[in-house]
Structure 1
């Protein structure tokens, strides 16, 4: 989990949601999954540091790439920038290769299923 350093301005969950386009509910989910960290103010409100904006954008990009939150938790320490760019250590490369292989198998399975279903439809109809 990317831990908030306490540096910079504190951002409340509503502000983080506004700046990232991610709902507060989803931000709490990311926190529960160990993807972002929050501090609690004296009033009990969650506060995040400025870096959380980038981290949430990284999470969104990695989710869009088809990674699960479990895999993202292992990838985030290697992520830099909002795109993000990944520092490809051998462990990360192995993880990404496993994910690609799983996606390839899912695609092949869907093609087989589609072919089976298409067999029930008359040609041209």
Structure 2
């Protein structure tokens, strides 16, 4: 199980406290260390991802890891991007294969513009 560094909340705990990522509570803990993802964007906490998933009416397990929650959110965002491109192609009267991936759809859209 991944561990993270948080600010100490009591005396004698040193400069940081290591906790399991699943135990992180944003209402109590303050995250320390590198919180940026590989794309340079700030990584969302599990609580932030859960809030987004809840707003999108996407079901998830309450004890799901931050990474699995992020995978759910990423999958939703990728699907939404494909649907947006399909809508633009349809508006322009451009036919496409229903199972085409995002790159193929984007190439069709780029060629039309």
TM bucket normalised to smaller: 0.3 to 0.5
Q: When the two structures are superposed, what TM-score results if normalisation uses the length of structure 2?
A: 0.37
Give the TM-score of the pair, scaled to structure 1: 0.34
Normalized per residue, the structure richer in helix is: 1
